[in-house]
Amino acid sequence: MRLALAALATLLLSCADDAGPHDVTVRVEVSDPDAARVSVRVWDERHELVRDDWRPADALPRALRLFPDDRDPTPVEQRWSRVEVELWTADGCPYARRVATYRYRGEPREEVLTVGATDAVGSRACLAAFVDPARGDDAGECLEGAPCATLERGLERVAEGGERRRVLLLAGGHEYPALDLPRSFGRRTLDDPSVLRAWPGLALPELPQIRARAGRGNALSLCCNFRLQSTGERVLLDFPEGVEIDGLDVEGGTRTGIELQGTQHVRVRNCYVHDAARFPDDEVSAEEPGLAGIRVHRSGDIVIEHNRIENNLDESGEFLVSGVFSGYRDAERVEDDAPVVLLDNRIVGNGAAGVSVIESDRDVILRGNTVCANRAEGVRVVTRFTAGPGDGGLTMDHNAVLGNALDGVLVMDWAGPIAVRRTTFSENGGASVRAESLPADARVEDSVVVTLTGQVTGDNDTLDAPLGAAECLLAPPSGVRGACADFPACAAD
């Protein structure tokens, strides 16, 4: 698989000559003259990484040419590429990032992507340590040209930076031991976090586990393109200030693939989280809530964006495993009451609800997600068990909720506003939207149901504006494969 991606990647970065009928030529402009290196990552509409490149700023090609794969049967108008450009200092500190998504059209075109110091994601004052087990030497200073050999030495080296931001970079193509980050590693804010990441442009580093617990005033950025695979929990982090997880391939996990708890600010993006909780251990109860590919609990300001969350399920069927589980906010520990937000995720084939949210006082927003072929509801939203009906709001906009075993959306004990807009429901086993008690101001607007069995229902009355019928999807799911690929699609807006 990695070789196939590498072969495709060699075609992506080229000059703009001989552009095809749908090609997008992206001219990358670096406005900061002090940038020493530039990294470029590209994803296709299947949320698969097809390029990860790192080179000196003065060696950056003049254009990045993106084009759809002719072997892909998905209509071109429903496909896109996502590009991320990041700037680095000469010492290995990532400090600025810009991301853009480009949809394909019926004719070639050019775009400009400019990145500079105003796109800051961290300070330039850091101490970076490079780790490479194959050619490293722990007697050195862990430089790019003379890396250290072990994680232990790399952590010792970044600790020598005092109050500077800490950046630990691991070479790909190697298996590392489980990593327990010390409390001191993340002593930053989310605007200027410490960073644990793979070297760009190399094969994936493989770790069985990344775990860390820290006190207040700690933030961590975990990035990019690690592969975590084995038994036990994959990623378990407790960072009160904030956590950003970007670009991980997370396979397996006894209870979860990624678990975050008690964190003020959470960002999970560009990850492939799959096969978690497939074989829960003897300590896991079948009634235990929160088994999931991604579990975020007692946290605030949650954004889960542009991830593939697939096939997280228990083989025996005894345990309920959601794609995403978001537990209630712990007001004593987390002051921020910002909404729970899921954007542009592909949540497919999980063992319970695709998305399960327990809340009491915050808004829940789902936009641009494909939620398909999960073994319970597509989306399940309930009020915290110890509280009264929730007064937060549920907003769904431009999602595709397809082929789930039970209801498309189930809302329980929810007193706040409900708005479902421009969302497609098809072949779900129950109602398209079901609520035990629909609030008076609940609305389902501009949404469609492909099958005649789709409905909106509640204990009081059905909504004044019922779902319409359609022969195609209003919000076509980009890059969907397998059981979710057989639904007809309308042209995108």
In a domain, 315, yes or no: yes
Nearest to 325 by CA among 282, 373, 381, 389: 381
Q: Looking at per-residue confidence, does 7 or 421 come out higher? A: 421
Cα angle for residues 37, 47, 272 (degrees, 5° grid): 90
Quote the number of domains for the chain: 2
Which of the two residues, 2 and 30, has the higher pLDDT score? 30
pLDDT mean over 59-64:
82
Write the pLDDT tens digit of every residue in 213-265. 655 556 778 777 667 765 555 677 766 677 888 888 888 777 788 888 777 78
Rounded distance between C-alpha atoms, residue 9 and residue 215, angstroms: 41
My answer on whether 350 and 460 are in the same domain is yes
d(CA 294, CA 259): 6
Helix (H, G, I), strand (E, B) or coil at 154: helix
- 């228990």: which residue's tokens? 314
Is 348 contained in some domain?
yes
Residue 150 lies in a domain: no
Q: What percent of the chain has pLDDT over 70?
A: 71
Residue pair 66/89 in contact (Cβ under 8 Å)? The answer is no
Which of 193-197, 303-307, 418-422 shows the lowest mean pLDDT across its residues?
Answer: 418-422
Within this chain, do residues 361 and 469 fall inside the same structural domain, yes or no? yes
Whether 437 and 299 map to the same domain: the answer is yes
- Mean of pLDDT values over 135-164: 91
- By residue range, what is the domain housing residue 42? 2-119
Same domain, 112 and 245: no
Q: Which residues contact 98 (CB under 8 A, 6 or more apart)?
A: 84, 85, 86, 113, 114, 115, 119
Q: Which residues contact 24 (CB under 8 A, 6 or more apart)?
A: 65, 66, 67, 81, 102, 104, 108, 109, 110, 111
292 vs 335 pLDDT, higher one: 292
pLDDT of residue 405: 92
Indicate the pTM of the whole model.
0.82
Boundary of a domain, candidates 119, 154, 185? 119
Mean predicted lDDT score pLDDT of the chain: 76
Same domain, 217 and 97: no
Longest dimension (CA), the chain: 73
84 and 210 fall within a common domain: no
Residues 111, 214, single domain; the answer is no
Are residue 103 and residue 228 in the same domain, yes or no?
no
pLDDT tens by residue, 361-376: 778 899 989 899 999 9
Please give the order of strands across the beta sheet that includes 418-421. 126-131, 165-170, 194-198, 219-223, 242-246, 265-269, 302-305, 340-343, 364-367, 394-397, 418-421, 443-445
**79 and 213 within one domain:** no
Phi, psi for 95 (deg, rounded to 5): -135, -10
**Token representation of residue 131:** 């780790």
CATH of the domain at 11: 2.60.40
Residue 319 is part of a domain; what is its CATH number? 2.160.20.10
Name every residue whose Cβ is closer than 8 Å to that of residue 388 and which is 6 or more positions away in sequence: 360, 413, 415
User: 271 and 379 share a domain?
Assistant: yes
* Per-residue pLDDT, 21: 74
Q: Are residues 472 and 325 in the same domain?
A: yes
CA dist., res. 105 & res. 112, Å (int): 17
Is the model's pLDDT at 202 over the cut of 80?
no
Residue 480 belongs to some domain of the structure: yes
**Residue closest to 296 by CA, chosen among 319, 315, 273:** 273
Tokens of 307: 């991830």
- Of the three residues 103, 119, 135, the one that is the final residue of a domain is 119
Between 359 and 304, name the one with better pLDDT: 304
Q: Is the residue at 234 inside a domain?
A: yes
In b/e form, how buried is each residue of 37-46, taking b as 16+ CB within 10 angstroms?
bbbbbbbbbb
pLDDT band at 63 (very low <50, low <70, confident <90, very high): confident
**pLDDT more than 90, % of the chain:** 22
Amino acid at 253: G
User: What is the average pLDDT across 440-446?
Assistant: 62
State CA 191 to chain mean position distance: 19
Q: Which of 102, 119, 136 is the last residue of a domain?
A: 119
Same domain, 112 and 210: no
Is 155 part of any domain? no
Q: Decide if 143 is inside a domain.
A: no
What is d(CA 348, CA 471) in angstroms, rounded to the nearest whole number? 22
What pLDDT does 445 receive? Answer: 62
Classify residue 135: in a domain, yes or no. Answer: no
pLDDT tens per residue, range 111-125: 999 999 999 988 888
